Amino acid sequence: MARLYLDAISKRFAGTDAVRAVTLDIADGEFLVLLGPSGCGKSTLLRLIAGLEEPTEGRILLDGTDISDEPPQRRDLAMVFQSYALYPHLTVEKNIGFPLRSRRQPQRTIAARVAEVAGVLGLRELLDRRPAALSGGQRQRVALARAMVRDPGAFLMDEPLSNLDAKLRSATRAELIALHRRLGATFVYVTHDQVEAMTMATRIALLNGGRIEQVGTPEELYDRPRSTFVAGFLGSPPMNLIDAEVRPHIDGLRVTAEGIDAALGIDAEEAIDSAISTRVIVGIRPERLRITRDISAIRGQVTMVENLGSEELIHVRVGDTVPGEANRPVVARAPRPAGVRVGEAIGFAVDPADIHLFDLATGLRLT
């Protein structure tokens, strides 16, 4: 069992509020990903959980017990670092067994446990090697094995895949998902890579400036981002965000801007005072724009077509954009070949359900 509860935890370094009043309930057996841009405080938050940093304020509970003052080795948690932190002079076998030897476990217990964990992670053939004679992916597995050998309640991982090449990273992602299922343990995993977060997490906590911007399943964050920050962080390319106006119309509300005139759905009617015009930021995912020859919601001129192999990214200039991001094109994602050329006039249709509305001043979701 390992339920972690972060109770209004803050960490202040000289002059920097790295983590600001974060409250987070991590259920037993979850794969929680701490996601966010560089400097948002995700590593600091993980180190606070591990006991490698002391909180300035707040408490950390493990299964209801306050562990805020416990040293790292007294917490039932194992940390896997980006650098793996393996001992170069020790063999793989000795590296994996290290946490048990330092706890003075009997030799036979250590040997049996190391063999078991090495079997799970496919390391049996490598037990006599030293870290220098291993590939990046193998080192990563040794670091994981060393964390697993004690059978901790929770695994804390700080960007463990960032030293691997793209192919190995994607294979190791799949291994980690399988490992999480098999162990049933709680995983708290730090990354700035949205693909890792989307594919592995049972829930994502997206951090921004030391605060939690949104917590939820990958689908919740992707489909109903709470703010323009979340909308712009997840998705590649990210959600199109356009400065626009919501106006009452005889058939209901419409969102308009230069080159844009689209019907809104029931959600918008409930969220927005339909009697007056309101300035908003409208958000549309690139894959939700459909090229059409009929009357279109968005019209513009193709400025660039990017070939991704199976798909194309079509960049279109359509009048107004978000303030401060002048002339940023709207990007649509379409199966290749979409059959459009640079310079061509183009129109897109979009379903009312695929239009997100955000407050112009705060960036918070309106619908």
Q: Does residue 148 belong to the site contacting ligand ATP (CB under 6 A)? A: no
Residue pair 134/142 in contact by the 8 Å Cβ criterion: yes
The nearest distance, CB 58 to ligand ATP, in angstroms, is 15
Residues 6+ apart with CB under 8 A from 300: 259, 316, 317, 318, 319, 330, 345, 346
Nearest alpha carbon to residue 191 among 182, 181, 200:
200
In the list 6, 33, 43, 146, the residue contacting ligand ATP (rule: CB under 6 A) is 43
How many CB atoms within 10 Å of residue 26? 23
The nearest distance, CB 205 to ligand ATP, in angstroms, is 12
Q: Does residue 16 belong to the site contacting ligand ATP (CB under 6 A)? A: yes
Q: Does residue 44 belong to the site contacting ligand ATP (CB under 6 A)? A: yes
Instruction: Specify the stretch interacting with ligand ATP by CB under 6 A; choose among 42-50, 86-94, 147-155, 279-287.
Output: 42-50
Q: Does residue 55 belong to the site contacting ligand ATP (CB under 6 A)? A: no
Quote the CA–CA distance of 278 and 146 in Å, as a whole number: 57
Phi, psi values for residue 359, rounded to 5°: -65, 135
Q: Does residue 18 belong to the site contacting ligand ATP (CB under 6 A)? A: yes
Q: Does residue 102 belong to the site contacting ligand ATP (CB under 6 A)? A: no
Task: Please say which residue, 99 or 160, places its beta carbon nearer to ligand ATP.
Answer: 160
Instruction: Specify the stretch interacting with ligand ATP by CB under 6 A; choose among 34-42, 134-142, 219-227, 258-266.
Output: 34-42
Task: Please say which residue, 12 or 299, places its beta carbon nearer to ligand ATP.
Answer: 12
In the list 20, 31, 33, 42, the residue contacting ligand ATP (rule: CB under 6 A) is 42
Strand ranges for 230-329 from DSSP E: 240-249, 252-257, 260-263, 278-284, 290-291, 298-307, 311-317
Quote the CA–CA distance of 19 and 209 in Å, as a whole number: 8
- Residues numbered 293 to 312 that lie near ligand ATP (CB under 6 A) are none
The nearest distance, CB 41 to ligand ATP, in angstroms, is 4
Burial class (CB in 10 A: 0-12, 13-18, 19+), 241: buried
Contact residues toward ligand ATP (CB under 6 A) are 13, 16, 18, 36, 38-44, 192
